[in-house]
Amino acid sequence: MRGNLVVRAAAESLSLTTLVRYDRPRATPVWRPLSAVHRRLAPGLLRDAVDTISAVPDPLQR
């Protein structure tokens, strides 16, 4: 099983795409329950990332 997380940030939005490739038949039953956890946790992680990045001063805007 291989996976990639693709994050796209724009001026007022942030998106996360999870791409999973099942290389072996055993990956499907493993990922199925984990994907539910991933979908529950990902929005909060993105919100936390936005809050963290927003708290850092922009060095270009002095």
HSE, CB side, 13 Å, CA atoms: give it for residue 21.
4
Rounded CA separation 28/4 (Å): 16
Mean pLDDT of 12-31: 85
Q: What residue spans define the domains of the chain?
A: 1-35
With contact defined as beta carbons under 8 Å apart, do 19 and 1 qualify? Answer: no
Q: Of the candidates 29, 4, 27, 1, which has an alpha carbon nearest to the alpha carbon of residue 17? A: 4
Distance of CA 47 to the CA centre of its chain: 10
pLDDT category at 62 given cuts 50, 70, 90 is low
Indicate whether 24 pLDDT > 90.
no
Where are the strands (E) in the chain, listed by range? 2-9, 14-21
Q: What pLDDT score was predicted for residue 45? A: 87
Mean pLDDT of 43-55: 85
